Amino acid sequence: MLDARDSSQPTDSHGTPDVDTTLPGEATYTCPMHPEIRRNAPGNCPICGMALEPLLPGLDDEENPELVDFRRRFWWTLPLTLVVTALAMFGHRFGWMSPATQSWVELGLSIPVVLWAGWPFFERCLQSIRNASPNMWTLIGLGVGAGFVYSVAATVAPQWFPESFFAHGRVGVYSSRQPSSSCR
Ligand SMILES: [Zn+2]
């Protein structure tokens, strides 16, 4: 006598067995916003740039490495951010240095904040452009990048800028506005 279950096996409604293809013991990572993204290793979502999360939270619930990294970058550069912000807001009133020198000091203080603390933002911005998938990181990366490039030019070659760009004896720079936007 033929077993009914045997004959039904090959004509299963899906055709393909619903089995996790990852090896046992190997974690699967997915994007919280794009569940179709599946990776065998942690990384960033190719669509939105968010950090991928383990599908099944491990027993060893270690802290989110992205959060640890961002926090470290934020706290290490916060003193520079505060100094450059104070300088930009009140520097010209104190008259401690010439306007051109002040621009250079602000640039020096801003470089680690923008290029080191802000590096993950630029990385994800580039990734979003490469994947032709614009997202929040594209916006932040382009905004901060444009402001920074402008500020470097205004400091290094103020003679390139028209008279109307000058205020308080120098071309207005945005370096001071970088940290608050890149480190949020
Ligand atoms: Zn995503």
Give the pLDDT confidence of 53-69 residue by residue, as tens digits: 888 866 666 778 888 99
* Same domain for 90 and 31: no
* Same domain for 69 and 57: no
Distance 49 CA to ligand 1 centre (A): 6
Three-state DSSP at 150 gives: helix
Distance 110 CA to ligand 1 centre (A): 30
Nearest to 136, CA basis, from 75, 18, 50: 50
* Same domain for 136 and 45: no
Distance 56 CA to ligand 1 centre (A): 17
Question: Mind listing the pLDDT tens digit for each residue in 2-28?
Answer: 444 444 444 444 444 444 454 555 789
pLDDT of residue 135: 92
Domain range for 47:
19-62
Distance 38 CA to ligand 1 centre (A): 10
* Same domain for 84 and 175: yes
Distance 141 CA to ligand 1 centre (A): 17
Is 57 a domain residue?
yes
Question: Mind listing the pLDDT tens digit for each residue in 87-105?
Answer: 988 988 888 899 999 999 9
pLDDT of residue 24: 54
pLDDT of residue 115: 96
* Same domain for 85 and 30: no
Total structural domains in the chain? 2
Residue 131, class by beta-carbon neighbours within 10 Å (0-12 exposed, 13-18 middle, 19+ buried)? middle
Is 8 a domain residue?
no
pLDDT of residue 92: 84
Distance 152 CA to ligand 1 centre (A): 33
Of 30, 62, 94, the position where a domain reaches its end is 62
Nearest to 43, CA basis, from 59, 63, 56, 29: 29
Three-state DSSP at 3 gives: coil
